[in-house]
Amino acid sequence: MKKIFTIIILLSTIIPAPAQQEVKRPKLVVGLVMDQMRWDYLYRYYNRYSETGGFKRMLNEGFACENTYIPYAPTVTACGHSSIYTGSVPAINGITGNYWWDNEQMRSVYCTEDKTVNTVGSNSSQGKMSPRNMLVTTICDELRLATNFKSKVIGVAIKDRGGILTAGHSANAAYWYDNSVGNWITSTYYMNELPKWAADFNNQKIVDQYYEKGWSLLYPENSYLQSTSDEKAYESKPFGTKFPYTMKNFAGKDYGKITSTPMGNSITIEFAKAALTAEQLGADNITDFLAVSFSSPDYIGHTFGPNSIESEDGFLRLDKELGDFLDFLDTKVGKGEYTVFLTADHGAAHVPEFMQENNLPGGRVFMSTVTGNLNKLLNEKYRINNIIVSDENYQIHLNHPALDSAGLNKSDIIDRIINSLLTVPGIDRAFALNDLNKIPLPSTIKNMLSNGYYPRRNGDIQFILKPNYIDAWNNTGTTHGLWNPYDSHIPLIWYGWGIRKGKTNRDTYMTDIAPTIGALLHVQMPNGNVGQVITEVLQ
């Protein structure tokens, strides 16, 4: 018996333990968010996109979700970026706009502002930012948790909110562009000084090099058949009246102008490449995440409109640069070793005057004038200044402390405001947000407004504009923010490791992106997630 026991012990030391199988994941996930890209841009310019460019390559070799929608309103940048990466909606993640009115502080709050941190990379205040106003985790946070924080996560965007809200709370870094000095910066939330590679990048002053080249059309002007003529009265003119745009005079002086050109995309890609190389993203078997947002399509779209030569040229150039970026990933990470998704945070309305000159409905509503006039009328009636304190995010916010002090009946004031709003040409509906579930509205619109409603950061009255009417500040350009398909129908393409080839025409949603990545990586979905896995995408 003793011998048998000894033999068993010896065998147990000789026979190896079963090999542990690792969870299969790509080396790198790259999220590409186009700030202001309507879904139809994929096909509006399809025949002009390069065969080696990014859009055709992803469409033809990846998986396209052709009917992807934003499930909330307002459809603006901060909400879009946070919802893509959290799988959530503003009603849960708390990011209810780029700005929102805070009743406790009695002021407008910026989505990523953080007075407890300081700028790293410049002497301006543009780095006093962090993700602390976002109430939930992102898929990047969940990847970090799943790997015991061994995965590296970096966010990059010209807009601070595009880099910060995507990378999440636990990111190794987020970087954004300081337009006061032309540097890429971050905040002390992430680090106390820029890494050498980032400082070296800034020292090159690439912005001035771009300014020296200026902005010329990629192709002959007469080939831009999908666009209006170059000079339109309803386009803004930050660089002059027509192509080519000379920009040498901005060098060393105005570092913000580059954001409204395709060169803003160029510098974003170059910085993202530098980050990937220096931080060795995708260099080992622990999955990393690079979240890149391209802010310039939004600046170009607001300035010139969806039907401008500027917008078309911007996307044709971006297509080529995305193709080069995919080639870069093939070389640095390895072909078939990374996964990419491409989407947008919102679309945009056609310029109202473009619609009008083509006998289509559309117009401008100058809400700052509307609320200014309303405040005058309310002051005459109630002897209180500034009863309306904000009209941000298509909502009217009331001065509750002043109304409470005066002991006024808020319901009467709300009714008075609503009745006045309904007389404004271009305003389709107006109602008290407390009555949202009682108002007869199509379910799609009602659900979107409900998904955008977080009580502490929302107003008292909701107004909805007529289709292709915009909340305008001046008589040029366009904007976005409402429920309509031109604002809410966005592209979504998947490409690379673990992705099937094909497409689906069924309805999918922005909030489905994060849980689909979670399923791909075998990690938990974000803790505010309401989306569903798009099973057709995964191999």
Taking a C-beta distance cutoff of 8 angstroms, is the pair 36, 346 a contact? yes
Alpha carbon distances (Å) from 489 to 69, 75, 279: 5, 10, 35
Cα-Cα end-to-end distance for the chain: 54
Taking a C-beta distance cutoff of 8 angstroms, is the pair 76, 98 a contact? yes
Phi/psi at 348 (5° precision): -165, 155
Pick from 235, 255, 251: which is nearest to 243 by CA? 235
Q: Active-site residue among 68, 75, 77, 137?
A: 77
Residue 244: is the preceding peptide bond cis (ω within 30°)?
yes
Taking a C-beta distance cutoff of 8 angstroms, is the pair 533, 498 a contact? no
As given in the structure block, the two tokens for residue 167 are: 């990378």
Which residues partner with 293 through β-bridges? 33, 157
Backbone dihedral region for residue 409 (phi beyond 0: left; psi -120 to 50: alpha; all else: beta): beta
Cα–Cα distance, 354 to 232 (Å, whole number): 9
As given in the structure block, the two tokens for residue 404 are: 């409470």
* Number of alpha carbons in the 13 Å side-chain half-sphere of residue 153: 26
Which residues partner with 113 through β-bridges? 129
Taking a C-beta distance cutoff of 8 angstroms, is the pair 128, 144 a contact? no
Task: Look at the block and give the residue holding tokens 């950061």.
Answer: 457
Task: Look at the block and give the residue holding tokens 């805070």.
Answer: 102
**Residue 137 annotated in active site:** no
Helix segments in 305-421, DSSP class H: 309-329, 352-357, 367-382, 400-406, 410-421
Cα–Cα distance, 202 to 185 (Å, whole number): 9
Residues serving a catalytic function are: 77
